[in-house]
Amino acid sequence: MYIMLLTLDDYKPTWQDRLATPGMMIRPKGNQLEITFSTSDTESWDGFVHNLNSFLSPYNDSYQVQTNDECTPDEYFIQEDSGEVRNNPKRSCQFNRTILEECSGVWDRFYGYDKGQPCILIKLNRVIGMLPGKDRQSPYVTCAAKRYRVGENEWREDSDKIGLLAYYPPNGTFNLMYYPYYGKKAQVNYTQPLVAVKFLNASLNTDINVECKVTSNTLAAGSDRDKFAGRVSFKLRINDK
pLDDT score, position 111: 98
How far is Cα 193 from Cα 169, in angstroms, rounded to an integer?
10
Q: Which residues pair with 9 in a beta bridge?
A: none
Q: Domains (ranges, CATH) in the chain?
A: 22-78+85-239 (2.60.40.1660)
Backbone dihedral region for residue 111 (phi beyond 0: left; psi -120 to 50: alpha; all else: beta) = left
Query: Global pTM?
Result: 0.89
Query: What stretches of the chain adopt beta strand conformation (E)?
Result: 24-27, 34-38, 119-124, 140-145, 147-151, 154-157, 165-168, 195-199, 207-215, 231-239
Query: Mean pLDDT for each 10-residue chunk of the chain (241 residues)?
Result: 48 54 91 93 97 98 97 95 78 98 97 98 95 94 90 84 97 97 94 98 97 92 71 96 81
Residue type at 87? N
pLDDT score, position 8: 43
pLDDT score, position 12: 58
C-alpha dihedral sign at 146, 148, 150, 156: positive
